[in-house]
Amino acid sequence: MTDPLRHRVDLKELTRQEMTEFLAGLGRERFRVGQLMRWIYLRGVTDFAAMTDLAKALREDLAQRATISDWTPEAVEESRDGTRKYLFRLADGETVESVRIPMEGGRSTLCISTQVGCAMGCSFCLTGSFGLQRNLSAGEIVNQVCAAAKEGPVNNIVMMGMGEPLHNLDNVVRALQILYDDDGFSYGPRKVTLSTAGLVPQMRELGERIRVQLAVSLNATTDEVRDQLMPVNRRYPLAELMAACRDFPLQPRQRITFEYILIHGINDWPADARRLVKLLHGIRAKVNLIPFNAHEGSDFQPPTGEAVEAFQSYLLARDIVAIRRASKGQDISAACGQLKGKLERAEGVISKGPKDVISDK
Ligand code: SAH
Ligand code: SF4
């Protein structure tokens, strides 16, 4: 094979430090790193020839040795409520999705993926039923933000798309470093939320390596139920998970978000609300209550409105911040994992039946 382009480095894969080393390898001064990052992330330029404040010789060198990847969605769906879902085709043919969710005041949050599929196998989650295809690289994580930013500012980022971010910790940390860079998007750690199913050792490592807003998908208040909903609980049961949450370093006024998907008859009982209050004791927490989003891959049912109301009231009465999160983008199945599901069903890829772990209990 004599394709010279195969050896080019994609600059979007590099943290500031790695880009500095790369430029040093070309014999270039350090201060060019900031200029290069501003071209890439602030101006969205992918053609070295257009980087007019860099010496021509450097631009030519870069064009020989590097590339800047640039993503355009293969499909975009827009929901009646303004939620936009992007599907991206990766170089190896795999697909990932991101969802832009409009917020009050013209702001928007982008939900991004960190893996193709997911190894965690949660029984309520469509992504879980695909298994893990592969990790996303740092550049593939960052490119979801770049592509969405072309359509307008992205104020907040949540890693709640496909995949378990802490199962891809190194690339996720490098992507965060790129997203935080002052010469790039300069996101502050409070603008980015990482959601985990509860990989305890990696939670501890994350806290040591980088600052980020942490969300934990709790979804149950007993090990018995959580073992069934989230197999990761068999490895790291509730007591260990809650201890890791207590130890997680928080900034002043910062809280951990606990995601709780309410599933009819499974985890939406008054006793669950009572146990949840006990579990959260001593943790600076807020709770997001998310009605289960029904999909073809699962027999679970959404909770009744009354059950959600009662659950929320119980928490609020005990001074726990509990927000009921409307599932946006329902008409385009924007709940994470569902676009890919729809597309691949249409293509006949999905042949597996529903993973039915506890519905006959
Ligand atoms: N793997 C990480 C990151 C995101 S998972 C985690 O589990 O926290 C995707 C998010 O979608 C999680 O918050 C999960 O609880 C939620 N989710 C998955 N399937 C859902 C469904 N059927 N209805 C509502 N929320 C769902
Ligand atoms: Fe993976 Fe999160 Fe879905 Fe569980 S809920 S299968 S951890 S993506």
Ligand with smallest separation from the Cα of 259 = 1
Q: Which of 13, 97, 140, 259 is catalytic?
A: 97
- Whose CA is closest to atom 18 on ligand 1? 125
- Whose CA is closest to atom 11 on ligand 1? 336
For residue 123, give the nearest of 232, 196, 41 by alpha carbon. Answer: 232
- Please state which CATH number belongs to domain 75-347: 3.20.20.70
The finding on whether 122 has its CB within 6 A of some atom of ligand 2 is yes
Least confident window among 81-85, 93-97, 257-261, 264-268: 81-85
Answer whether 4-67 and 75-347 agree in fold: no
**Where does residue 4 rank: exposed (0-12), middle (13-18), buried (19+ CB within 10 A)?**
exposed
Cβ(331)–Cβ(78) below 8 Å: no
pLDDT of residue 353: 28
Q: Quick one: which H or E segment has residue 271? A: helix 270-279
- Nearest atom (ligand 1) to Cα of 120: 1
Cβ(86)–Cβ(97) below 8 Å: yes
For residue 335, give the nearest of 130, 99, 172 by alpha carbon. Answer: 99
pLDDT band at 191 (very low <50, low <70, confident <90, very high): very high
What mean pLDDT do residues 85-105 have?
A: 93
Residues belonging to the chain = 361
Least confident window among 6-10, 177-181, 213-217, 230-234: 6-10
User: What is the token pair recorded at 201?
Assistant: 């050792």
pLDDT of residue 348: 34
Distance CA 141, CA 65 (A): 22
| One-letter amino acid of 140 | E
> 273-276 — which CB contacts under 8 Å span 24+ positions?
273/310, 273/311, 273/314, 273/315, 274/314, 275/221, 275/222, 276/218, 276/221, 276/315, 276/320
pLDDT of residue 212: 97
pLDDT-above-90 percentage for the chain: 80
| CB within 8 Å of 51: residues ≥ 6 apart | 35, 36, 39, 45, 59
The finding on whether 166 has its CB within 6 A of some atom of ligand 2 is no
Q: How far is the CA of 293 from the centre of ligand 2 (A)?
A: 14
Domain positions in the chain are: 4-67, 75-347
| Domain range 4-67, CATH architecture | Orthogonal Bundle (1.10)
